[in-house]
Amino acid sequence: MDLFASFPGPFPIEAVYGKIGYYLVGLLIGVAFGYVLEMGGFGNSTKLAAQFYLTDMTVFKVMFTAIVVAMVLVFGATAFGFLDYNRVYVNPTYLWPGIVGGIIMGVGFVIGGF
């Protein structure tokens, strides 16, 4: 028996609170995420530039840890039946646009670090 078979989705925010509530929840999550990054020192351009000079790997460590934790939680939730992985949308990967965008962003971060 699936524990969440009648549950309509991850969080039916729009159905419960309407369109305005949906946007307010998104705004709240975005502001909280920005606040946490700023308090962690990731708004400092020299720290971001140091990542590309390989002198300060803090950003890499934090982001890599976040990716691994999210991956373990998603697949753990799938293994225990809390999440139907077939209902999770994963964006298709486009390699060359990702590489070009990463280079442009990297150059911008390094220039901003000066």
How far is residue 92 CA from its own chain's centroid? 16
| 10 and 65 co-located in one domain | no
Q: How confident is the model at residue 50 (pLDDT cuts 50, 70, 90)?
A: confident
d(CA 78, CA 82): 6
| 13 and 60 co-located in one domain | no
| 34 and 66 co-located in one domain | no
* Domain membership of residue 30 as a residue range: 1-39
| 77 and 33 co-located in one domain | no
| 76 and 54 co-located in one domain | yes
- CB atoms under 10 Å from CB of 51, counted, come to 20
Q: How many domains does the chain have?
A: 2
| 91 and 76 co-located in one domain | yes
| 29 and 59 co-located in one domain | no
| 60 and 22 co-located in one domain | no
Q: How confident is the model at residue 1 (pLDDT cuts 50, 70, 90)?
A: very low
Q: Which residue has the tokens 């925010």?
A: 13
pTM exceeding 0.85:
no
| 54 and 108 co-located in one domain | yes
| 49 and 81 co-located in one domain | yes
| 5 and 26 co-located in one domain | yes
| 54 and 91 co-located in one domain | yes
Of 100 and 26, the one with more pLDDT: 100
| Helix-helix angle 45-52:95-113, to 10 degrees | 120
